[in-house]
Structures are given as C-alpha cells and as structure tokens.
Homo-oligomer: A and B are copies of this chain.
Amino acid sequence: MRFSLTSRTSTDGVTEQPFTLGEIPGVLFTPQGATGPRPLILMGHGGGQHKKAPGVLAGAYRFAAEGGFAVVAIDAPNHGDRPKDERFVQFAGDMRARMAAGEDPTGLVAAMHELLAGQAVADWQAVLTAVQGLDHVGAGPVGYWGVSMGCGLGLPLLATEPRIHAAVLGLLGVQGLAETAARVTVPVQFLLQWDDTRVPRDRALALFDALGSADKTLHANPGDHGGIPAFETDDALQFFTRHLGMRSGASRRGTGSSIS
C-alpha cells in the first residue's frame, strides 16, 4: 500500500500530518519539532464520527503536547472520507429506525461492529507498521484509545495484535464481545457512563468483567453516553504515561530545526 504523508501544519505545540495509506485516510499528530522515536497512541473514533471528531482531537492534542506521544487517528471503514457500502447503509438505517422507535439497538450495534471489525483490524495493523517507519515515531511502545464503536473495533484489534501494550476503552456492552474481551490481556482503563441511555449499565459492567487483563480499572462517571468528563483525559494521559513511558520533559520534543 502506498503511504502518502502530506505537508504539516502546527497549532498549540502540535503538528498535524494528514496521510493516506492505500485507501485509508488518517492524521498523525506529533509534538511540534519532534525528532526521534516516541510512544504511539492509536485513536479509534465512535460510530458515525471520523478521524478528527472533537473527542478524538481533544485527546490527540493533549497526548501529543503534554505527553510527548505520537498519535494516529484514521477513518473507520464506511466512516469519514471513506466510501459507504450498501450493507453498511442498510444497517445504519435500521439502527436509526430502531432507536427512533425506542427499541434496544444493542444487538444491531454489535452486529454492525462485527461487520466492520475484520477490515478495521487490518487497517490498524497496516497503519501501525507504516507510521512506526517514520523517524519521529519509531518502533516504541504502542497504546490504543477508543470508546463506543472505538471499543467495539478496538477489542478485536487488541485480541490479535501483540504490538499494542495498553488501552483506554469503554462505553460499550458485552454483547457479542465476551470471548474477544477474554483474549485481551494488556492493561486497560475502561470508561463507563453511569446513566448511559445507549448502553445498559449491567452489560457495560459485564464487558469490564469479561476483559482478560489482570491490570484493568473501571472509571464510572454520572451522565449519558456522550458525557465523559474532561478530567478523564488527564487520567488517560496518566495511564498511557505509566504504561508506555514519556512525559519526563527532557525527551518530549526535538530540538527543532532539523525535521525529517
């Protein structure tokens, strides 16, 4: 696959580099002036969102600027700048109709994630290889961040890809995922919204319970699906720093002038 990394722009101490890898559109975020290897965080967006959705951007900027991490976000299959296939369009329409009718969409959500997971896992594996080939990323430790659909596609990735060492997940129930979750063994920080109208509380608790990781922490906060408090980004930064390293200040940024 052709890896095409376009020009860079920098804001607030973070450099953004849009790229395409084959048909996968993505963005790489690094600390401004970064040189040399650093830990990498893969960020998977939610259903109906895209690689630069507000929740992704907010995390990516802080992980890069404050943590010194490289961060990569891509559009999931059928999302963002990618073409939508017929089966996906059908699924999405059914899901909207059921939710509008007040029905429980949990089964359909699980089926949708299963439909996308195979391609999503292959995409992430190819992107990981390509991005780690860059001088200012390198083959350091790797983390994954993804909630809701980002969790539904992240769990199969974590279950099969040994290069990922820690993950922030959540906002999803156990349906269809118990066996996959049991195969995840890396440290996990799992976010749950206590009053989530889209994910029944007992099923989210059951997904946390199903994770095979010996080191896993549940962070539950009041509020609905979209209401994760801002301080959970502080906690995610602390979690990734604990498991992937970096943030000591010294090695956070390059010296500036010679950017590869």
Which residue numbers of A lie inside 8 Å of B, CB to CB? 192, 194, 205, 208-209, 214-222, 229, 231, 234-235, 238, 242
Which residue from chain B places its CB closest to the CB of A201 in the assembled complex?
B205
B194, B208, B231, B242: which contacts A220 (Cβ < 8 A)?
Answer: B208
In addition to A215-B229, A217-B220, A235-B235, 20 A-B residue pairs with Cβ atoms within 8 Å of each other are: A192-B218, A194-B209, A194-B218, A205-B205, A208-B220, A215-B222, A216-B221, A216-B222, A217-B221, A217-B229, A218-B218, A218-B219, A218-B220, A218-B221, A219-B219, A220-B220, A231-B242, A234-B242, A235-B238, A238-B238
Q: Tell me if A238 and B242 are in contact (CB < 8 A).
A: no
Min CB–CB distance A189 → chain B (angstroms)? 10
CA A221 – CA B192 in complex, angstroms? 14
Q: Tell me if B222 and A214 are in contact (CB < 8 A).
A: yes
Min CB–CB distance A31 → chain B (angstroms)? 22
Residues of B within 8 A of A221 (CB): 216-218
CB-based closest 9 A-B pairs: A218-B220, A217-B221, A219-B219, A217-B219, A216-B222, A231-B242, A234-B238, A214-B222, A218-B218
Min CB–CB distance A209 → chain B (angstroms)? 7
Copies of this protein in the complex: 2
CA A238 – CA B229 in complex, angstroms? 15
CA A231 – CA B239 in complex, angstroms? 9
CA A208 – CA B221 in complex, angstroms? 10
CA A209 – CA B192 in complex, angstroms? 13
Min CB–CB distance A104 → chain B (angstroms)? 22
Which residue from chain B places its CB closest to the CB of A192 in the assembled complex?
B218
Min CB–CB distance A62 → chain B (angstroms)? 14
